[in-house]
Structure 1
Amino acid sequence: MLTNHCYQGDCREVMRELIAAGVRVQCIVTSPPYWGLRDYGVHGQLGLEASLPEFLANMVEVFVLCRQLLADDGTLWLNMGDSYAGSRGAPWGPSPAATEARSMTASRRRDDTPIPRSDVRVEGLKPKDLVGQPWRLAFALQDSGWWLRQDIVWHKPNPMPESVHDRCTKAHEYVFLLTKSEKYFYDFEAMQEPVSGGAHARGAGVNPKAAPSGWDTSPGGHRQLKGRYSGTGVGFGRGYDKVVKPRVKQNASFSAAVTESVGTRNRRSVWTIPTQSFDGAHFATFPESLVEPCILAGSRPGDIVFDPFMGSGTVASVAQRLGRRWLGAELNPDYIALLAERTRQLGLVLESAA
């Protein structure tokens, strides 16, 4: 089977061919085109549909095929940003200055001719409404059979500026973790992160306040205590003559686990990662630091990682660097050329390092 390869064409057709050939991938990491935000200048591109329902229907079709291509214990990590409804209910993204800096939006084609907007409608949206496309897509995929396991907030410490005076500057996007099955491969150890500066050891032994004074905690000890007790517990009866069952907050196993200060903790669901540019004229690139934890948690060395919207090849580059195989699809031949050069250079670096 050919791996470390990006196929040119509509990702839906590419995936149908891979599925027919019996190919299965372990992990999918991708960022689809956002609805109505940019014209990538390629015939047949997704993201410029006349309506949001049409866009969502196309996305569901894409990810139904992704689910067929995915191993039974595989995971999908899906990045999606949002936009606002414009004066006609059509989507619009950042401020004009930011839009110009990030190239074109859906309001202009590559030849600088306006795209007709009069036929673009979002049912129920008013001007300046947040479209909510990340969650609309997540719920649509959930309805189609995916397990929606988590929403991860990608916090951008260096967001694009916006010339708005009636709301906050947008500084986050979402990464959704979706799975094909209830049980799936997830490398818990790979998703550990350093503890915060306030972490400290809890001492040796159970907190004495966890049980009332005189409480026999030895094997075979009593399980009830009568009389007044002001500590943590649940009372039964009336007045002060009641049976108290303390809720022991700590026990020996818990105490042993926290006696020494730990250096790592389970990764939190807000990831602070700066945006990252790529010198290849592709203006919608993933930061490698956003892709890396997804691949580490969702695959093992040697597994296949797939991106149906490969773009400039960030997913391929990170997968290759981490010892995974990769496959992808991309409609624009210019981006495939960028990807080939990017992964070729990485391969040379890996060979020299070996």
Structure 2
Amino acid sequence: MLTNYCYQGDCCAVMRDLVAAGVRVQCIVTSPPYWGLRDYGVAGQLGLEPTLREFLDSMVEVFDLCRELLADDGTLWLNMGDGYVPCRAAGVKPKDVTGQPWRLALALQDAGWWLRQDIVWHKPNPMPESVRDRCTKAHEYVFLLTKSERYFCDFAAMQEPVSGGAHSRGAGVNPKADIPSGWDTSAGGHRALKGRYAGTGVGFGRGYDKVAKPRAKQNASFAAAVAPLVDTRNRRSVWTIPTQSYSEAHFATFPEALVEPCVLAGSRPGDIVLDPFMGSGTVASVAQRLGRRWLGAELNPEYIALQAERTRQPGLVLEVAA
């Protein structure tokens, strides 16, 4: 079986061939065409169906094949943005939000997928809009879907750094957050009580008396013990990631920083990551860089060359010991 390869052709036809060949992938990360957004100029493309219902039916068919390819403990990370009803669509209200991300997610849930998470991709640098009767859209969704309630997820690999007073394991774990109300934490770590306790000698720092020493030692020991535990925390469900420019002729490249946590959490080194809508090859590039193998499908032959350029530098693939 070929890996680190994108098959040029219709994604459903490609995936049927892969299923017939007995291929299994551990993780799928993809961003399909959005309905009514743009014409890529390729016969057979998805996204130009006359109605949203037909588009959703097409997507369910695509992801039924994805589910056949996916390992039983695998995960699907699906990026989908929203849009507005195009003028060409018959029988619909113009300017209506299509709601296609959630319509698709619920359609896939009805088709048998487990819908485990809706992640908001917040774009701090959204595309400017000249509208004056609504807000500028600055987010899309990433849905985490699985084949069952049990699946592989490398929880630690996608954690994020702790910021501010946040902590990862509840109240009383972060030493900075575990300071009683009224304590002054200024002046190089000196902690003295304010208000009615000021000047009493009760505190944590210079001038504290024998009564406070046991508590100070306890706090210091506690802080030293838990310090390694709070460098990172469980990744939140809102990911602030700027869009990433791409100089070549592809209109809808999603950023590598959006793909990376999905690949890290959804696969191990040496596993196969699939993108049935490979486009310019972002998923392939990230998977290869992280030591995963990859497969893809792409209808537009012009994009195959873009993928080859982005994956020209081989990644270090580590095989998992049996």
2:151 equivalent in structure 1: 184
Tell me, what secondary structure is at the counterpart of 1:320? helix
| Aligned residue pairs, count | 268
> Could you list the per-position Cα deviations for residues 118-167 of structure 1 after superposition, in whole angstroms to 9, with x for gaps in the alignment?
xx236xx4222211000000000000000000000000000001111111
Q: How far did residue 203 of structure 1 move?
A: 8.6
Q: Which residue of 1 aligns with 2:238?
A: 270
Once the two structures are superposed, what CA deviation does each residue of 1:4-58 show, in whole Å capped at 9, x if it has no partner?
0000100000000000000000000000000010000100000000011100000
Q: Does the 8 A contact of 1:312 with 1:336 survive in 2? A: yes
What letter matches 1:260 in structure 2?
V
User: Cα distance 1:12–1:203, how it changes in 2: closer, same or farther (>3 A)?
Assistant: closer
SS at match of 1:44: coil
Deviations 1:198-253 (A, max 9, x none): 24416999x9xxxxxxxxxxxxxxxxxxxxxxxxxxxxxxxxxxxxxxxxxxxxxx
1:103-182 residue pairs with structure 2 within 5 A?
A: 117=88, 120-121=89-90, 125-182=92-149
TM-score, with structure 1 as normaliser: 0.72
How many angstroms apart in 1 are the aligned matches of 2:281 and 2:248?
10
- Do 1:25 and 1:71's aligned partners in 2 also have CA atoms closer than 8 Å? yes
Structure 1 match to 2:43: 43
CA contact (8 A) 2:30 2:275 kept: yes
| 1:308 aligns to 2:276 (yes or no) | yes
AA at the equivalent of 2:112: G
Instruction: Quote the offset at 1:350 in angstroms.
Output: 6.8
Q: Which 4+ stretches in 1 moved above 6 angstroms?
A: 202-205, 255-259
Q: CA deviation at 1:85?
A: 2.2
Provide the TM-score with structure 2 as the length reference: 0.79
Please give the alpha-carbon distance, in whole angstroms, between the structure 2 residues aligned to 1:166 and 1:204.
46
> More displaced, 127-136 or 316-325?
127-136
2:164 is equivalent to residue 197 of structure 1: yes
Change in CA separation of 1:304 and 1:203 when aligned onto 2, cut-off 3 Å? closer
- Residue identity in the other structure for 2:23: V
Distance in structure 1 (CA, Å) of the matches to 2:6 and 2:236: 32
What is the CA–CA distance in structure 2 between the aligned matches of 1:8 and 1:176, rounded to whole Å? 26
Deviation of 1:338 after TM superposition, in Å, equals 1.0
| CA apart distance, 1:179 | 0.4
Matches within 5 A, 1:292-331: 292-331=260-299
**Structure 1 unaligned runs (5+)?**
91-116, 208-254
In the alignment, the residues of structure 1 paired with residue 94 and residue 274 of structure 2 have an alpha-carbon distance, to the nearest angstrom, of: 37
Q: Which has the larger radius of gyration?
A: 1
Match of 2:309 in 1: 341
From the superposition, tell whether residues 258 and 171 of structure 1 become closer, same or farther in structure 2 (CA, over 3 Å): farther
Conservation of the 8 A alpha-carbon contact between 1:202 and 1:260? no
